[in-house]
């Protein structure tokens, strides 16, 4: 299975986590910075891992915004998609990792099979558009307040999603 990881990162946190996830998962063919990507990079992919931060109080990371309408042309039908999102649960408690939810809505609308739901235990926040039915619809990472937990969370999450990407 051809698996690609696409990430957008404003200050480098998501980029760092993207590389760690690809290394841990094992069979990722390419790690693509969405800032330098073209929509053709989404072709001939069997499984997608999508990573991004939430910025500006509940908005998509900037590079993903530029790309957002083009994503409508990607055929995600029945393909596995795993989402990870970076955020700050202290400063932005009302919008914590909202972008996970924005991506979730987009790809499910396009027929994707989203994998890697993640429990909210261990986080403190007021609201998140990334939560559905009591779980984050992807891995939530907080490099601003809980960077010591990132490595462990990535390892655990990769074990959860790996069977869907092999
Ligand atoms: C202006 C600004 C707005 C932000 N807004 C949010 C937000 O609404 N929700 C959230 O969870 N994090 C928010 N953050 C925190 C970032 O998502 C967090 O610092 C993240 O690690 C940045 O990752 P990146 O360097 O990959 O872009 C915001 C950060 C900045 C600087």
- Percent of the chain's residues with pLDDT above 70: 100
Domains, in order of start, for the chain: 3-165 (3.40.50.360)
> Would the pLDDT of 50 be above 90?
yes
Check if 150 has its Cβ closer than 6 Å to any atom of ligand 1. Answer: no
Tell me which residue has its CA closest to atom 31 in ligand 1: 55
Query: Using a 6 Å cutoff on CB, does residue 53 contact ligand 1?
Result: yes
Q: Over 90: is that where the pLDDT of 47 sits?
A: yes
Percent of the chain with pLDDT over 90: 95
What pLDDT is recorded for position 67?
A: 87
Looking at residues 45-63, what average pLDDT do you find?
A: 97
| pTM exceeds cut of 0.75 | yes
Instruction: Say yes or no to pLDDT of 65 above 90.
Output: yes
DSSP 66-95: HHTTGGGGS--TT-EEEEEEE--TTTTTTS
Mean pLDDT of 21-32: 96
pLDDT tens readout for residues 119-138: 999 999 999 999 999 999 99
Mean pLDDT score, 26-42: 94
120, 84 contact by CB (below 8 A): no
Q: What average pLDDT does this structure show over 56-62?
A: 97
CA of 142 to the centre of ligand 1 (A): 9
pLDDT of residue 161: 98
Closest C-alpha among 47, 34, 38 to residue 6: 34
Mean pLDDT of 17-42: 95
């Amino acid at each position: 299975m051809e698996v690609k990881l696409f990430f957008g990162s404003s200050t480098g946190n998501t980029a760092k986590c993207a590389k760690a996830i690809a290394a841990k998962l094992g069979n990722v063919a390419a790690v693509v910075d969405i800032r330098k990507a073209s929509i053709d990079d989404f072709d001939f992919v069997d499984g997608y891992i999508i990573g991004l931060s939430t910025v500006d109080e509940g908005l998509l990371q900037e590079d993903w915004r530029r790309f957002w309408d083009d994503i409508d042309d990607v055929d995600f039908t029945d393909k596995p998609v795993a989402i990870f999102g970076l955020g700050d649960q202290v400063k932005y408690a009302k919008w914590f990792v909202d972008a996970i939810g924005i991506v979730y809505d987009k790809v499910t609308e396009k027929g994707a099979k989203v994998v890697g739901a993640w429990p909210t235990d261990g986080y403190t926040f007021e609201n998140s558009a990334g939560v559905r039915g009591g779980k984050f619809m992807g891995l939530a990472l907080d490099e601003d307040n809980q960077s010591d937990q990132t490595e462990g969370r990535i390892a655990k999450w990769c074990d959860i999603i790996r069977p869907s990407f092999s």
